[in-house]
Structures are given as C-alpha cells and as structure tokens.
Chain A
Amino acid sequence: MANHNIPYAVLHGMNVPTSFIHQEGSSFDFGELEEAIVLQGVKIRNDDEAKAPLFTTGRPAATLEMFPSWPMRFHQTPRGSSKSGGESTDSGSAVNTNSSKTENQLEPESPISTKKTTPLDQQQGMASDISRTGTSIAKLPQEKRRGSTSEKQLDAKTLRRLAQNREAARKSRLRKKAYVQQLESSRIKLTQLEQDLQRARSQGFFLGGCAAAVGNISTGAAIFDMEYSRWLEDDQRHMSELRTGLNAHLSDSDLRIIVDSYISHYDELFRLKVAAVKADVFHLLTGMWATPAERCFLWMGGFRPSELIKMLISQLDPLTEQQVMGIYSLQHSSQQAEEALTQGLEQLHQSLIDTVAGGPVIDGMQQMAVALGKLANLEGFVRQADNLRQQTLHQLSRILTVRQAARCFLMIGEYYGRLRALSSLWASRPRESMMGDDHSCQTTTDLQMVQPSQNHFSNF
C-alpha cells in the first residue's frame, strides 16, 4: 500500500507537478500527491482543466474555505518525516516539535509508516482515506475503457467532485487532529510549569523572575537550585530507606550500608556547594537556595553545626558516657571553629567597609579592584563553613553506633523537612494582603518579616 500511489503516477506517465513533491524541502505530503494523482487521472480522461489550476499552486485553497472555523494553519498539518527511516526534522511544523516528544508507535502496515510523528489514529484515518482514494483511482481507468464518453464524463465529474470532497474532509480532519494534539501538548506543558512553579513557591523562592530564563539569578545559582531540588528528592528516598531499615531491624552491617550511603548523599551536597560557591557565593550566603524558615537559622551559607548537635543531643538517648563526652566535645569544638570563622568574616567585613568607604577617592578603579579582591575571600569562608559542616556529620557517625547514627540522620532529615514545610505553610497562610493573592508579594513580605531575626546578617 505504501507505494501504491507513486508507481501509478510514474507508470502511467502522468505529469505529476513536481511542486507537490518538492514542497517544504525534504518532506512532502502524501495527501497532496494523492490529490494530484486523482486530478491528473481525471485530467487525462476529460481534458477538463477547469479545476486543475487550483491545485497546481500546491494549496487546496478551495477546501480551506469549506471549513472556515479551523485556523488556516496549513503548514502545521503533520507532514514531517515522510522519508523512510528518517527522523522528523520539519522545523516549520509546530505540531511535529510537540508531538515528536510523544514518540508514537507505528503500524508497519500503514501506508504512512514513515511518518513517525503523527498519532496512530491519524495514520489509520489516512490509511482508510488512501484506500478510499486508491479505490477511486483504481475505478477510474476501468471506467475509461467501458461505456460512452458522455456518461463517463458525468460519472467522472461527479467522482472527481466526490473525491475532492473526501480529500477536503480528510484534510480538515487532519488539521483538526493536529490542532487538538497541539492543544493537548500545550495543556500538559502548562500543568508541568504550574507544578514546577508550585514547587518553587513552596521552597520560598522569590517570584517575579526567579528563573534564570528571566535573568534575575545567575546561571550558577540556577544550576545549584536545580541540583539541590534533585538532592532533596534523593533525600526523601534515603530517609525512607533509613526508616524501613530501622523498622525492619536489619543487621548492623546492612544498616551500615544505608547509613554510609546517607553520608555519601550529604557529601554529594557539599560537592555541589563547592561548585556553587565558585559560581555565585552570594546565592549561598544569602540563603536564596533555601526556604525562608531555614534561612532564618542560616550561618555562613548553611546550617550551624553546633545548633544541629544541640538539637540532636536530647533525642539521641541512650548514650554511653564515652559517647556523651564525644558529643559534647564535638559541640564544643564546632562552636570554637564557628566562632573563629565568624570573627574572620567580621574582619573581612570591616576591611571591605574601609575599602568601599575609601576616604578621599584617589583612584576609584583601584579602590574597586581592591574591594573585588576582598569580596572574593567570601568564597573561602563559605567553603570552610561547609567543610566544618561536613566534618561534623562525619564525626557524628563515628561517635554513634550504627543504629544511633541511622536514627540521628533520620532526625536531621525530618527536622529540615519540617522547617521546609513550615516555610510552605507560612507562605500560604491566609492573610489580608494589600496586593491580593499575589504570591510574590507574600514572599517578599515574608522575607521582610523574617529579616529582623537574622541578626547574623547584620554582619554583611
């Protein structure tokens, strides 16, 4: 069936207008060819060329007018990849770009089997159409041999009109299907975007251009945010592993595997943060990657290790005396390290103020260059802070037994999960807002309300 129409044209020496075949470059439309064949077949018999010119332009303009309700999107009917085995590269067709992603299955026996992007029902519709037009083609030469000229002429005219009608109806159906398909894929895309937006909102991002596409955050920051949200999904998975592992009373060695993988999961986060620090230290420092409630407790671009240990201490019972000493010692040393880093950052802060304030401006550019150099030191501090965080988690797992470590990490994960949930609830709590339901304003107000409590930010 696939080659039915082409050899017919060739065999009977019909003058198939090349315009049909070479339409739109590499792809062409069987429907157009069919029309050409039908009409050329009629033309041979009747020498009636009254209607033929309409189709030599390559556009069934007459048929379009029959169905004015459909948009005149002639070029968007699916006519991609009609080359056998070829991929759809018809960039002019919006439908193809949308539907190429859907990866429809092909029916091998379909005459349009090479059209990979058209949906199955479209192909079936086309197949039945072609078989109908095929039979009409088959009928015509037979009638040519039989009967008188006048009778045959009448028949031929009617047949031709019928064929045209069928053709027009078929094209209209195809256009309708393409249009619906486009609507469907747009709808899916819209829901996906809404979901992404909802997720971004729940994580407390600034609206009104938080996406890198709008250009309000740097590429490095956008990349980190994406990786971080993926990390959070992984976190959920690890936590459920820990939970089931604990409830199932696994052996210590089995549980150790789960605990170690959770530690590696955190190591992965610190690796991501190393890259993020280099790309956009302010994104990390200002905590824009975290939710508002987390941001409230932010210390140097992340959690404060001694605070985390304080949170854990009461919940880690029962501990041996040696473990208790170990935990308190850990808390103490992390406090000392935090204090040292904070003081170092304070000195950087002061030095920066001196540079930017400047006194008599002798050389503005020089001043700026010096200030830039000092700003770069921020990266070192965030890196050291992350290093401290990582070391603290590792040391915790050394002090605790496997079961205790599993419970501990579960606690940490749940704690931050609750903080994130708190942020979502805060963002969506019912209030009279001056700007109505505009979430971006809510978030702005949230941050403004949160800011007074961020005492350590006054250092910046």
Chain B
Amino acid sequence: MHYQGESWGYYMPTSSMPSDTMERVVKLASESAVVIFSLSSCCMCHAVKRLFCGMGVNPTVYELDQDLRGKEMERALMRLLGNSQAVPVVFIGGKLIGSMDRVMASHINGTLVPLLKEAGALWL
C-alpha cells in the first residue's frame, strides 16, 4: 500500500476552484492501478483496504485528513458520488468504481477481479 498524503502539500498551488479539485482527484485516480481515497480514522476505509490487501492487490491510498487540500477533495468526492459519505471511494484503472457497497457488489458478482486484472493490479 502506498500512502501519498503529505507530499502533496508542497508543490500544488492552493487553488480553491472546485473544478481544479475534481481535476486533481481524477488525475490522482488515474496515476495508479487501484486508488483509494480514505480517512485515517475511518473504519470502513480500513475495511476496504483490507479487502484489496486480502486479494493480493497493492492499492494507492490517499488519506484526505493528512492532505492540506483534503477537505476540498472530500467535498468534490461527495459531489461525485452524490452522497454525504466521501470516503472510502475506489478507482480502478482510472475509472470510478464507487463506495464500499459498489466494491463489494462487484466482487460478489465477479466483475471486480477481471477489472483488477485488466488494470494490471492482479496477476493470476
């Protein structure tokens, strides 16, 4: 698991434009095969991280509470998902998968593993 929290505070310009934030989210999401936006205190985030680790996947995790622009990003994610819970949210291969319920649903119906393989996160 890669945690990429603090490093962002140093070179990103502090722009508060929502579209910028969303752009940033998308940019981050496409830089790794599996990206999880999380909060270090959130237990459901812990569950989703354990799920991927249990499958042998190495996700890239962004702890938004450890990011200077974390609050903005949380708001952007809330808008993206259309609910009051921003995290956890999972991107695979740059594509939005969703919150915990969508991740689990796709695992149960067998679509998660092919997606992971396609994104290069799983080799078996």
Are B54 and A339 in contact, with the CB atoms below 8 A? yes
Q: A344-B50, A384-B101, A387-B101 known; A337 and B44 CB under 8 Å?
A: no
Size bracket of the A interface: 20 to 34
Q: How far is the CA of A64 from the CA of B105 in the complex (A)?
A: 75
Interface string of B105-116 (1 = CB under 8 A from A): 101111011000
Answer whether residue B55 sits at the interface, using C-beta atoms and an 8 A cutoff. yes
How would you classify the secondary structure of chain A's contact residues: helix, strand, loop or mixed?
Answer: helix
Q: How far is the CA of A398 from the CA of B110 in the complex (A)?
A: 11
Min Cβ gap A281→B in Å is: 14
Chain B residue numbers with a CB within 8 Å of A387 are 101, 104-105
Tell which of A336, A343, A351, A381 touches B107, judged by Cβ atoms closer than 8 Å: A336
Tell which of B46, B105, B108 touches A344, judged by Cβ atoms closer than 8 Å: B46
Q: How far is the CA of A329 from the CA of B110 in the complex (A)?
A: 8
How many residue pairs link A and B with beta carbons under 8 A? The number is: 73
Are B108 and A340 in contact, with the CB atoms below 8 A? no
Min Cβ gap B21→A in Å is: 25
Are A343 and B46 in contact, with the CB atoms below 8 A? yes
- Total count of chain B residues near the partner, CB < 8 A: 21
Are A333 and B43 in contact, with the CB atoms below 8 A? no
Tell which of A339, A345, A395 touches B109, judged by Cβ atoms closer than 8 Å: A395
What is the chain B residue whose CB lies nearest that of A391? Answer: B108
Chain B residue numbers with a CB within 8 Å of A380 are 44, 85, 100
What is the chain A residue whose CB lies nearest that of B85? Answer: A380
Answer whether residue B48 sits at the interface, using C-beta atoms and an 8 A cutoff. yes
Min Cβ gap B100→A in Å is: 6
Chain B residue numbers with a CB within 8 Å of A398 are 109
Chain B residues with CB under 8 Å of chain A are: 41, 43-44, 46-48, 50-51, 54-55, 85, 100-101, 104-105, 107-110, 112-113
25 contacts between A and B (CB under 8 A): A330-B110, A333-B107, A333-B110, A333-B112, A336-B54, A336-B55, A337-B104, A337-B107, A339-B50, A339-B51, A344-B46, A344-B47, A344-B48, A344-B50, A345-B47, A351-B41, A383-B101, A384-B44, A384-B47, A384-B100, A384-B101, A387-B105, A388-B104, A391-B109, A392-B108
